[in-house]
Amino acid sequence: MIIYTLIFLVTILIGSMIFFMAVVSPSVFATLSTNASSKFLRTIFPRMFLFGFIITFLSLILSYILGNILNSILLVIVAVSFIINRNYLTPKINNFRDKELEGDEKASTNFKYMHLLSVLLFLLNFIILFSIVIINYFNYNL
């Protein structure tokens, strides 16, 4: 029963990540002004990363109860990645973006680098979470 709850939580997180990438982000840029989209994204990104951390942490607890070391290690990586994205990268990205809009060319390069790093961590999390579902499918024959 615990494994089903773990897989359910992980798939909810995967689904929310897909929804964010496929629906929320494109819709924001297609419908909101630059200023409004900036305010919206500065509000939603930290919350999305916190949501990801909470779901991952709950999954980690279940994985620990199951005694599944591989799941636990992978979930720790995902949890830490969400926290790095939320508490370190997002504030830096916002700061560099503000400086870029003021005309600072070095900030523009830093913004692109930090944004790329944030996206890569997000994709890494997605791949790890998807791997957890696949690995557990074959281990538990869900």
Query: pTM to 2 decimals?
Result: 0.91
Rounded percentage of the chain residues whose pLDDT exceeds 90? 85
Residue 107 tokens read as 């900030």
Contact between residue 65 and residue 2 where contact means Cβ atoms under 8 Å apart: yes
HEC states along 49-95? HHHHHHHHHHHHHHHHHHCCHHHHHHHHHHHHHHHHHHHHHHHHHHH
pLDDT tens readout for residues 67-88: 999 999 999 999 999 999 999 9
How distant, in Å, are the alpha carbons of 83, 114, 123 from that of 98? 22, 13, 25
Q: What's the pLDDT at 142?
A: 52
Q: Domain span at residue 87?
A: 2-140
Residue keyed to tokens 């538990």 = 140
Under 8 Å between Cβ of 53 and 83? yes
Average confidence (pLDDT) over 38-66? 96
Give the number of domains in the chain.
1
